[in-house]
Structure 1
Amino acid sequence: MNISTRIILVNTSLPANIGAAARAMKTMGLYDLVLVAPKQFPHADASSLASSASDVLANARVVATLEEAIADCQLVLGTSARNRTIGLPQLDARSAGSTAQQHEQAGAKVAIIFGREDRGLTNEELMLCHAHVFIPTNPVYGVLNVAAAVQVLAYEVRMACLLAEDTCDEFTGTYSQRPQPVPDPLEQQGMPITLVPWDEELVKGEDMTQFYEHCERTLIAVGFLDPENPRQIMTRLRRLFGRTRLDRPEYNLLRGFFKRVLALSGEKVGRGGVILTAKSSGKNDV
């Protein structure tokens, strides 16, 4: 069973952790590894720790930014051991595995992000995610190596996939009866992420990057957002739209609204929402 969930490692310092994470992935049937600005890669330590998962390393993509890593993803889960001032919907590892499986079954591309060894993900990086994933470790000592955290999440994703279908038991060779449907864990959250209940395309990460830039420019143009004192307006809007999970028609509707508001405010708006000012060439989409 090959599972399409993407594992993203951000600014990993030790190449050995990259190799160990690749090994953890392959043992659970995950092969899509993306590295965001790793300190050292490729490296002999990564190859050594990967053992027989050298194919995962060989096919790993290295990108400069997290935005690039999630550009084609419709569900992004960020792992963190710390709560943040403005929180996202929270999922434990088991719920995250179930959620990833459900979204993948519906055709969405799913990514799980792991931060730096010493400080994890920044607030800005976590706000690119739809939910905050935590592993309920021992409260007295809850420190996990990044590769160990990858192993836990990869295992939960695999178990959710095995439970979702009638499959032959890989160890005993016997068939098991399909279990009763597992309730969507996100329905129990105060701020749920829900699957779009109709057949419309979910918007990808690269489109949402343009959406937030367009939204921010619109709020500035009408005087609602002061760029010198932005407070938490855009952070809260990111959380709001992250929970909403825009589909393509909704996205186009809101982009059209932003474009019209900007036009009424005096901004000259070109095709596709491009802002045309005296200093602009008209080539940079918002």
Structure 2
Amino acid sequence: MLENIRVVLVNTSHPGNIGGAARAMKNMGLSRLVLVDPQQFPHHEADARASGANDILESAQVVATLEDALVGCSLVLGTSARDRRIPWPLLDPRECGTKSVEEAGQGLEVALVFGREYAGLTNEELQRCHYHVHIPSNPDFSSLNLAAAVQVLGYEVRMAWLAAEGQPSKVEKEELNAPGNDTLSTSDEMERFYGQLEQTLEGIGFLDPSNPRHLMARLRRLYGRSAVSRSEMNILRGILTETQKVVRGEPHKRKDK
């Protein structure tokens, strides 16, 4: 799907921005770069800024005109404020990402068009676009670096693609130091913990068994909603065991983990 979406940079003046845009594309899973009449390309600064995305630069298509860059496209989105003479359909970045993925998912070709660093797209170029995309930046400092603009739209495209593919947008991190202990504690394990916790709290004088004031019920509620894993339970039980040793006056060793 994402291979149907091309990033088009028009008349880019700084080669470093081309490399930065390529890096932003690769971060977000986009691979097709089209350069319209770049002022300096290929260039060592583009290679340096690509920082590992040099394959995108190597496969970039260089054309003379925007018309050449848009051949075969069914949806063209131009990044700019609205046309200065004629009102035009306007999307925000999130709508742009959703629209792009919807069209690309149907096998259609999509182009995200970015203008010159100093002047953006001309009115004539904007009128070749089906929609204009405006990034709602700080009005007191609204000018985005070209690569940053590519990153913003690339991110929204990726988020829309993840949603369309049914993939999570965040990945839970596993506890690498505790293989096999990442399952949740069982009910009986929790009961043994509550028993030891109650004994420990009585031992340090925090819990008065003659006047408990629902303390254990509140603690059960606290730990019950915490989804305690077995590795976490081992830590908690270890803390209680060492605390009980101190209360009994037994020697104990500090365990740094």
TM-score by length of 1: 0.58
Deviation string, structure 1 residues 40-95 (Cα, Å, up to 9, x no partner): 00000000000100000000000000000001111000011354211210001110
Say yes or no: does 1:93 pair with 2:93: yes
Provide the identity percentage.
57
Question: Which aligned pairs between 1:179-218 and structure 2 lie closer than 5 A?
Answer: none
**Which amino acid in the other structure matches residue 100 of structure 2?**
A
The question of whether the paired residues in 1 share the 8 Å contact of 2:83 and 2:126 is answered with: no
What residue number does 1:79 align with? 79
C-alpha RMSD of the superposition = 1.7
The question of whether the paired residues in 2 share the 8 Å contact of 1:3 and 1:158 is answered with: no
Say yes or no: does 1:51 pair with 2:51: yes
What residue number does 2:127 align with? 127
Write the distance in 1 (CA, Å) between the matches of 2:120 and 2:58. 25
The question of whether the paired residues in 2 share the 8 Å contact of 1:6 and 1:110 is answered with: yes
What residue number does 2:102 align with? 102
* Cα displacement (A) at 1:107: 1.6
The question of whether the paired residues in 2 share the 8 Å contact of 1:34 and 1:63 is answered with: yes
Write the distance in 2 (CA, Å) between the matches of 1:128 and 1:67. 8
**Which amino acid in the other structure matches residue 9 of structure 1?**
L
Question: Which aligned pairs between 1:252-263 and structure 2 lie closer than 5 A?
Answer: none
Question: Which aligned pairs between 1:14-163 and structure 2 lie closer than 5 A?
Answer: 14-163=14-163
Write the distance in 2 (CA, Å) between the matches of 1:61 and 1:124. 22
Q: Residue 15 and residue 164 in structure 1: after superposition, are their counterparts in 2 closer, same or farther (change >3 A)?
A: same
TM-score by length of 2: 0.65
**Which amino acid in the other structure matches residue 108 of structure 1?**
L
Residue correspondences, number: 174
Instruction: Classify the secondary structure of the residue corresponding to 2:165.
Output: coil
Deviation string, structure 1 residues 233-269 (Cα, Å, up to 9, x no partner): xxxxxxxxxxxxxxxxxxxxxxxxxxxxxxxxxxxxx
* Cα displacement (A) at 1:172: 2.8
Instruction: Classify the secondary structure of the residue corresponding to 2:73.
Output: coil
What residue ranges of structure 2 are gaps of 5+ in the alignment?
175-257
Deviation string, structure 1 residues 84-131 (Cα, Å, up to 9, x no partner): 211210001110000001111122110000000000000111111101
The question of whether the paired residues in 2 share the 8 Å contact of 1:7 and 1:111 is answered with: yes
Write the distance in 1 (CA, Å) between the matches of 2:111 and 2:172. 31
Write the distance in 2 (CA, Å) between the matches of 1:52 and 1:168. 25
Write the distance in 2 (CA, Å) between the matches of 1:169 and 1:17. 28
Displacement over 6 Å in runs of 4+: none
What residue ranges of structure 1 are gaps of 5+ in the alignment?
175-286
